[in-house]
Amino acid sequence: MTKAVCVQKSPFTVELDAGDHYWCACGLSKNQPFCDGSHKGSSFTPVKFTLDKKETKYLCGCKATKTPPFCDGTHNKF
Ligand code: FES
Ligand code: FES
């Protein structure tokens, strides 16, 4: 597996608590948009990001963003 699986052609809007979060980069997680360990055995690893406070974020669902873990509009090119 060398290409991430597109989960959806739009971002996940999620309200997140302060602290560490792990975005699924491979697209195989059953707990989108977060890593659940399903990437094991592939070349993918989750993208860790940390929030200082509770915030709403737009996490990439197509897995093709150039600014992971955040949606950058790339999904509009599909
Ligand atoms: Fe996709 Fe971990 S399950 S990066
Ligand atoms: Fe992937 Fe927007 S959902 S770039």
- In whole angstroms, what is the distance from residue 60 CA to residue 62 CA? 6
Beta bridge partners of 12: 59
State if residue 36 touches ligand 1 by the CB under 6 angstroms criterion. Answer: yes
CA of 56 to the centre of ligand 1 (A): 21
Average pLDDT, the chain: 97
pLDDT tens digit string along 29-51?
Answer: 999 999 999 999 999 999 999 99
Q: Residue 35: name the closest of 68, 1, 76, 66 by CA.
A: 68
CA of 10 to the centre of ligand 1 (A): 18
Instruction: Give percent above pLDDT 90 in the chain.
Output: 96
- Which of 28, 30, 34, 47 to probe ligand 1 with, by most ligand atoms within 8 A of CB? 28
Q: What was the pLDDT predicted at 35?
A: 98
Q: Which residue do the tokens 């608590």 mark? A: 17
pLDDT tens digit string along 9-23?
Answer: 999 999 999 999 999
- For the entire predicted model, the pTM comes to 0.96
